[in-house]
Amino acid sequence: MPAYEPWTEVRGTEIIAAHADQEGATLPILHALQETFGYVAPEAVPLVAARLNLSRAEVHGIVTFYHEFRRHPPGRHVLRLCRAEACQSVGAEALGVHICERLGIDWHGTSADGNVTLEPVYCLGLCATGPAALLDGKPLGRLDADRLDAALERAPLERTFLERTR
Amino acid sequence: MTRIFVPRDAAALALGSDEVAVALAPHATIVRTGSRGLFWLEPMIEVETPAGRIAYGPVEASDIPGLLAAGLLDGAAHPKRLGPPEQIPFLARQTRLTFARCGVVDPLSLEDYRAHGGIKGLERAIEVGPVGILDEVTRSGLRGRGGAGFPTGIKWKTTADAASDRKYIVCNADEGDSGTYADRMLMEGDPFVLIEGMAINGIAVGATKGYVYTRSEYPHAVAAFDAALAVARAAGVLGSSVLGSRYTFDIEQRVGAGAYICGEETSLLESLEGRRGQVRAKPPLPAHKGLFQRPTVVNNLITLASIPVIMSEGAQAYHDFGMGRSRGTMPIQLAGNLRFAGLFEAGFGVTLGELVNDIGGGTRSGRPVRAVQVGGPLGAYFPPALFDTQFDYEAFAARGGLMGHGGVVVFDETVDLAKQARFAMEFAAIESCGKCTPCRIGSVRGQEVMDKIIAGQAVEANITLLRDLCETMKFGSLCALGGFIPLPVLSALTHFPEDFLPPVHRAAA
Ligand SMILES: Cc1cc2nc3c(=O)[nH]c(=O)nc-3n(C[C@H](O)[C@H](O)[C@H](O)COP(=O)(O)O)c2cc1C
Ligand code: SF4
Ligand code: FES
């Protein structure tokens, strides 16, 4: 799991400034904010607007247009489960029902213990090895309920593995 | 030490190739590659022996001790030994032009790239100059692989002829269609071929800057391509003097943010400029007024990646493959419920039936094939009765479908086509850019109508309503999202009417 920083205006301003001097800077800035803080904080919107000479409404409109940008901090782990056709053909729908029940949440929700955020995604390009998902950025294939549960249980350990190999 | 090639393609990673690489590392020199695209065999590793490469697969980390004991490093016998990869029937039957190096080379080694025929196309392009390139690309018969099949030579010529202080090349790597992964595989497995293709395009039309717009769902492709850009710049393939010539060209990668509509070229340009990805009305064409109002070529990644081989081998060699007005090869992506799912590059003309039953080996579940969706979420559902349809832009259109980006998604008999039709409407509702009413409102209405049909409420009247709605969307929408979503809906209704019957009748049908 990527370790996110808590939102601060100082860091936010710094990140915005670092990406603002390029053509079409909005998406690169929003991506950088989300990478750092895990989401695009509402407090960031007026800062981005001011830096790029846009209205707040415009920036808000951009943030909400793109499904990728979160407006709330995610859980410790983010599971992006594919719901598109190729994964449907090998059982993605049942898998979605299973994981919602197991986590006690609906799509876009975060489990009560703050552990997992579940996000729908429409194709990861892993359509020959579905059902597919990205768990904290790690691709998973040929998932069934057992494999997915096991991956979620391993998720906190994966992090130490990743950090060790870094 | 013996060299072993272990894929780092995201699909191979999804099946544990990193763990395999870690287990092998103490015993061999590991070279990470892209994937050959035989996904039922992934992770598929290849050992370099004096007799050539020997493949093993699917390999799990737990298999490694046994494989080593059996003599893996010498390419010895083992139940998972597949032999020389080129002789595996699925690969042997293909014509790999665009994907010739994918899964073979180290994606970040320019030496490997050159050793396997890379850079020759760019060298020749510099030699013959813009006019020569435009002539070659036009004669090759290449048409856009992003879906619309527009002749690439004509598109380039339009931009070349437009006068401007600046022009741009934009590579569409948004690859949003379910069932497609060719762009992703190349970015991870042979990124230099895209860089080379874009540089040739830049020289042809007089553009010095290129953008690659990659979807955010592909983090591994994004990282791989950025790494390749750095290598290409350091080696002078990109920069102020491309390969030491008088041409300047550089590329920057930008990442999308989970909006399917940003694959539509004008929406993509809006997004690149930093706005909501709302479709622009045409004209003006991007070729005249595209990115930042400048003349811009927008091409699909596979279109651009097909250019180097056309330039190095010549237009005629490429044109010799294919059928009718569809020339060259198409990287077809077999996906979904299929036994042998993977990348199959072949000359146009192969039939859907060959792909699904013969090459793909039928379903993974072992149940009969019931439906195949070709061309992504805007593509039609085909029943086995139409499996004689050939892979060709015109042939698919004649059957009420589209080839799209070449994705083939197979469903077995458990599929419910009424549910699939509902999903098409739901997807359109989620992904509509909101610019025009038929699509924005129609997709939401379509979902409601499908809910009623599925619940068995006034089915006949609602089917009439659904058809009307599809007419309105087809003819009233500004872009192909709203315009083509009727294809999956109506094809499901036409070819699988029994799935739309009220529940009580369905069992009897
Ligand atoms: C809703 C929608 C989504 C699209 N998605 C893609 C895509 O992901 N990749 C792509 O290359 N073209 C996509 N297209 C087609 C592009 O608009 C455009 O035709 C293409 O990029 C042109 O390149 P080509 O001539 O090389 O095919 C899409 C079109 C529509 C209407
Ligand atoms: S058809 Fe849909 S996606 Fe296309 S312009 Fe209209 S609202 Fe936007
Ligand atoms: S449809 Fe699920 S990864 Fe492509």
Return the ligand 1 atom nearest residue B261 CA. Answer: 1
Give the separation between CA B506 and CA B183, rounded to whole angstroms: 41
Distance (Å, rounded) from C-alpha B172 to C-alpha B325?
A: 23
Q: Across chain B, which distance is largest between two alpha carbons, in Å?
A: 73
Tokens 């002539």: give the residue. Answer: B135
- The span from the CA of B73 to the CA of B2, in Å, is 7
- Per-residue model confidence (pLDDT) at position A159: 56
What residues form DSSP beta bridges with A138?
A: A135
Does domain B321-412 fall under CATH 3.10.20.600? My reply is yes
Nearest to A89 among B185, B218, B410 (CB): B410
Residue ranges around ligand 3 (CB below 6 Å): A 82, 84-87, 123-127, 130, 132; B 178
The CATH topology of domain B3-92 is: Glutaredoxin (3.40.30)
pLDDT confidence of residue A163: 46
**Tens-digit pLDDT string for chain B (509 aa):** 899 999 999 999 999 999 999 999 999 999 999 999 999 999 999 999 999 999 999 999 999 999 999 999 999 999 999 999 999 999 999 999 999 999 999 999 999 999 999 999 999 999 999 999 999 999 999 999 999 999 999 999 999 999 999 999 999 999 999 999 999 999 999 999 999 999 999 999 999 999 999 999 999 999 999 999 999 999 999 999 999 999 999 999 999 999 999 999 999 999 999 999 999 999 999 999 999 999 999 999 999 999 999 999 999 999 999 999 999 999 999 999 999 999 999 999 999 999 999 999 999 999 999 999 999 999 999 999 999 999 999 999 999 999 999 999 999 999 999 999 999 999 999 999 999 999 999 999 999 999 999 999 999 999 999 999 999 999 999 999 999 999 999 999 999 999 999 876 665 55
- Distance, in Å, from the CA atom of B128 to the CA atom of B122, rounded to the nearest integer, reads 10
Mean of pLDDT values over A84-99: 98
B126 Cβ contact partners less than 8 Å away, ≥ 6 residues apart: B203, B242, B243, B245, B247
CATH top class, domain B417-508: mainly alpha
Q: Amino acid identity of A165?
A: T
- Report pLDDT digits (tens) over A120-157: 999 999 999 999 999 999 999 999 999 999 999 998 87
What is B303-320 written as a DSSP string?
Answer: HHHTHHHHHHH-HHHHHT
CB contact under 8 A, B407 and A140: no
CA distances from B1 to A66, B47, B121, B124 (A): 48, 11, 34, 37
Residue B444 exposure: Cα atoms within 13 Å on the Cβ side: 9
CA–CA separation, B158 and B284 (whole Å): 12
Asked if the Cβ–Cβ distance from B364 to A90 is below 8 Å, we say yes
**Cα nearest neighbour of B430 on chain A:** A67
Q: Where are the alpha helices (DSSP H) in A77-144?
A: 85-88, 92-103
Q: Is residue B210 classed as helix, strand or coil in its secondary structure?
A: strand
Chain B partners of A138 at a C-beta cutoff of 8 Å? 13
pLDDT of res. B502: 83
The pLDDT score that the predictor gives to residue B508 is: 55
In the sheet that holds B250-255, the strands lie side by side as B250-255, B209-214, B168-173, B296-300
Q: Where do the structural domains in chain B lie, given as residue ranges?
A: 3-92, 110-318, 321-412, 417-508
**CA–CA distance, B150 with B325 (Å, rounded to integer):** 11
Q: What is the DSSP code string of B58-97?
A: S--GGGHHHHHHHTGGGT---TTEEE-GGGSHHHHT---S
Residues in chain A with CB shorter than 8 Å from the CB of B273 are 23-24
Residue environment code for B153-184, b if the CB has 16+ CB neighbours within 10 A, otherwise e: bebbbbbbebebeebbbbbbbbbbbbbbbbbb
Ligand 3 atom nearest to CA at A87: 2
pLDDT score for B503: 74
For this complex, say whether ipTM is above 0.85: yes
Q: Which residues of B touch A142 (CB under 8 A)?
A: 14-15
CATH classification code of A77-165: 3.40.30.10
pLDDT at A157: 77
* Nearest CB partner across the interface for A128, out of B177, B335, B430: B335
pLDDT in tens, A38-53: 999 999 999 999 999 9
Across residues A25-36, what is the average pLDDT? Answer: 98
Collapsed DSSP state (helix, strand, coil) of residue B13: helix
d(Cα B371, Cα B379) in Å, to the nearest integer? 12
pLDDT for position B269? 98
Domain range list for chain A: 9-65, 77-165
Peptide bond into A42 cis (omega under 30): no
pLDDT (0 to 100) of residue A160: 45
Q: What is the DSSP string of B403-467?
A: -TTSEEEEEETT--HHHHHHHHHHHHHHH--SSSHHHHHHHHHHHHHHHHHHTTSSHHHHHHHHH
Residues of B whose CB is below 8 A from A86: 178-179, 335-336, 407, 409
Q: Are B422 and B489 in contact (CB under 8 A)?
A: no
**B110-318 has which CATH code?**
3.40.50.11540
**Any idea which residue has 């409109």 for tokens?**
A61
Kindly state if the Cβ of B183 falls inside 6 Å of ligand 1.
no
Q: Determine the 3-state secondary structure of B98 from DSSP.
A: coil
Predicted pLDDT at A77: 96
Count helices and strands in chain B by DSSP H and E runs: 22, 16
| pLDDT for residue A2 | 59
Q: Would you state the structure tokens that stand for residue B236, as one six-digit string?
A: 């002078």
CA–CA distance, B392 with B355 (Å, rounded to integer): 13
Q: Is B335's CB within 8 Å of A88's CB?
A: no
A68 inside 8 A of chain B by CB: yes
**DSSP track, B141-193:** T-B-TTTT--BHHHHHHHHHHS--S--EEEEEE---STT--HHHHHHHH-HHH
Helix (H) or strand (E) segment spanning residue A118:
strand A116-121
Testing the interface with A: which of B355, B374, B409, B426 to mutate, by most A Cβ within 10 A? B409
Answer yes or no: is pLDDT of A162 > 50.
no
Band (A164; pLDDT cuts 50, 70, 90): very low
Interface contact B216, partner A, CB < 8 A: yes
What tens digit of pLDDT does each residue of A93-113 get?
999 999 999 999 999 999 999
